[in-house]
Amino acid sequence: MTTSKSVVIIDYGLGNVASASKAFAKLGASVKISRDKNDINTATHLVLPGVGAFGEGIRLLEESGVIPMITERALRQKIPFLGICLGMQLLASTGNEFGVHRGLNWLPGTVDELSGTHIRLPHVGWNEIMIQKKGVLLQGLADRNFYFVHSFVFNCTDPGAVIATCGYGDGFVAVVEKGNIFGTQFHPEKSQVSGLTVLKNFLSYA
Amino acid sequence: MLKVRVIPCMLFNGFSLVKTIQFGTMRNLGSPIQAAHVYNSRNVDELVFIDLKATEEHREPLYDVIHEVIGECFMPLAIGGGIHSLDVIQRLLSIGADKVIINSEALTHPEFIERAARKFGSQCIVVSIDVKRNGRRFMVMDKRGATTTRHEAVPWAQEMHKRGAGELFVTSVDQDGSMAGYDIDLINAVVSEVSIPVIASGGAGKVQDIIDVIKKGHADAAALASMFHYSGHTANSIKQRMAAAGIPVRIVGP
């Protein structure tokens, strides 16, 4: 991995930014946790972390003032963008957790509670993903188990963007990709070797 | 399929890792940072780190030590001990903890669990429940097993679930350190009455104990402390036996 990759983990007050930062650093990237315009504008890769509720997430993201900047960089300049967990869910059109909230609407679909009979929520632990189509993030995986911790899921209505699913409850979307926009419902930064492979694939995309 | 987790539990006394027997008698087991390094290299599913003395000594968690432990881990880490304010939780999450484990504060101020879950999300709020048998009743204990509360384990677990806990860490004080097996009846009683994941703790001495608490107690995860130190087992050697018994586990090298 070259050191020319410059990752900015968007700091909007949610998410385990320290772990994501540590994982990218281990892969040899330079990493900043920031909401600064200059940092975002000079990044080669943007990462939106996040844990917690959708409404609070989108509110904090709006308050942080980064939405116009990241939209410009990801949607118009098309630099690689990765949403992790809630960060992936925020890419959706709408979130239905504690009320109805508008999302970034970069990928169509809604965020809803994981459905299924007799399932324990949150869905916590290691689960195996089922790869639905060839994408960038899941190349060269030695093991398809990843660490999940969530109760809500992204029901993405663009079937072309769904790269992997997971079979808990009625099943849900585990990985999305659309061009330079990536998202994982699991935590790659917490998924040891498999997780590091996913992050490495993300860094390799340009 | 969701895998059953095997979770090494690191008990810390402020200086080193220790082993306890029925929450007493401590034996020194060395540096938590070194232990975390080994656990990470062995690809364990998750780690639990509990500072047994923080609350008793009226101090906050030792952030520097925890930060170093976290630095070794590319797997989820739950931190317990001395968590009595939202600020402490914020600080632990900001240095890279994934979850916090709350015990005493839930007993003295149950509404703290609601505030914590609302602010940080249920997924990172684990409530630890220490339980001692009294006849046929499962009594919830406080002060590291020294004080019996008025709560019984099952209704207390339900209340914690209702208030927003995302997981329960249920320890049998009677079985702690005994290596004589989990309290399966206790775990089963709790699991049956809540719909959040339950981590069974206290008593693992051999692989069959883990298999039993998963198959008969229906725990979602098994925490072990002494067993790793005294049995020569690794997470993978344990999980291979569990897999052979038909339990879904995650086995990866080395």
- Report domain extents, chain A: 6-204
B250 within some domain: no
Q: Given a cut of 70, is residue B81 above it in pLDDT?
A: yes
Contact B93 A126 (CB under 8 A): no
Contact criterion met (CB below 8 Å) for B145 and B173? yes
pLDDT less than 70: residues of chain A:
1-3
Q: pTM (2 decimals)?
A: 0.94
* CATH number (domain holding residue B156): 3.20.20.70
Q: Look up residue B8 and give its two tokens.
A: 């090494």
Q: What is the ipTM of this complex?
A: 0.90
For position A1, what pLDDT does the model report?
47
Active site residues of A: 85, 187, 189
| Mean pLDDT calculated for residue range B123-136 | 96
Residue B17 within a domain: yes
**Interface contact B183, partner A, CB < 8 A:** no
Of A128, A151, A192, the CB nearest to B75: A192
Residue B128 lies in a domain: yes
The arithmetic mean of pLDDT across residues B126-146, rounded, is 96
Distance of CA A121 to the CA centre of its chain: 20
The average pLDDT across B119-126 equals 91
Omega cis (within 30) before B155 = no
Fold for the domain defined by A6-204: Rossmann fold (3.40.50)
Q: How far is CA B180 from the centre of its chain?
A: 18
Distance CA B254, CA B251 (A): 9
For residue B207, being part of any structural domain is answered with yes
Mean pLDDT of B85-109: 95
| Residue B35 and residue B71 in contact, taking contact as beta carbons nearer than 8 Å | no
Q: What confidence score (pLDDT) does residue A48 get?
A: 97
Nearest-angstrom CA–CA distance, A9 and A39: 10
Q: Has residue B174 been placed in a domain?
A: yes
What domain range is B217 assigned to? 5-244
Q: What's chain B's average pLDDT?
A: 94
Q: Does residue B249 lie within any of the structural domains?
A: no
Q: What is the DSSP letter of A115?
A: P
Contact at 8 Å (CB) between A9 and A17?
yes
Please write the tens of the pLDDT for every residue from B168-204: 999 999 999 888 999 999 999 999 999 999 999 999 9
Question: Does residue B138 fall inside a structural domain?
Answer: yes
Which residue blocks in chain B are alpha helix, DSSP H? 32-41, 63-71, 86-94, 104-108, 111-120, 153-163, 184-193, 207-215, 226-230, 235-244
Residue A3: what pLDDT? 55
Q: Cβ B123–A51 below 8 Å, yes or no?
A: yes
Chain A residues inside the 8 Å CB shell of B121 = 51-53
> Of B103, B230, B245, which is closest to residue B165 (Cα–Cα)?
B103
Task: Provide mean pLDDT across the span B110-114.
Answer: 98
Please report residues of A whose CB lies closer than 8 A to that of B40.
192
Looking at the 3D structure of chain B, how many domains does it have?
A: 1
